[in-house]
Structure 1
Amino acid sequence: MDDAERLTRLEERYAHLQRHQAEQDKVMLELTEEVARLRAELGVLRARDSSGGTAPEPTDERPPHY
């Protein structure tokens, strides 16, 4: 393998790694945004739970002894 072939292979591998890194960065950004959204939603649910809000009882549900 001469130097030109070796250099071409290295450039191809480097380009592949650059593309892979860009894809990973995109996925990490999406995951970060999703985690932030879920944390906000969890905060709302925890606040609702700690404020004493209870879910209304379903009227057509049978008691456990039936």
Structure 2
Amino acid sequence: MTPERELALLLDAANWLRSAPPQLRPGSTISALCERFGLSHEQAMFARRYADDFESKEAANDNGA
């Protein structure tokens, strides 16, 4: 897998995870990311970290407008 393809998959997985309402997210997000996107456990952990980072940055940038 090329580095570009890997990054695209990680970002797709992070966006999928971020867009799913918490109550609809699977119990084991790592396993779900591995299964859905064909990621390794390490890659799935990076995707989850990216999703968490995106959410925290959005909250920090929310100016209430």
TM range (shorter): 0.3 to 0.5
Q: Please, what TM-score do these two structures have when normalized by structure 1? A: 0.37
Higher share in helix: 2
Larger radius of gyration: 1
Q: Please, what TM-score do these two structures have when normalized by structure 2? A: 0.37
Higher relative contact order (CA 8 A, sep 6+): 2
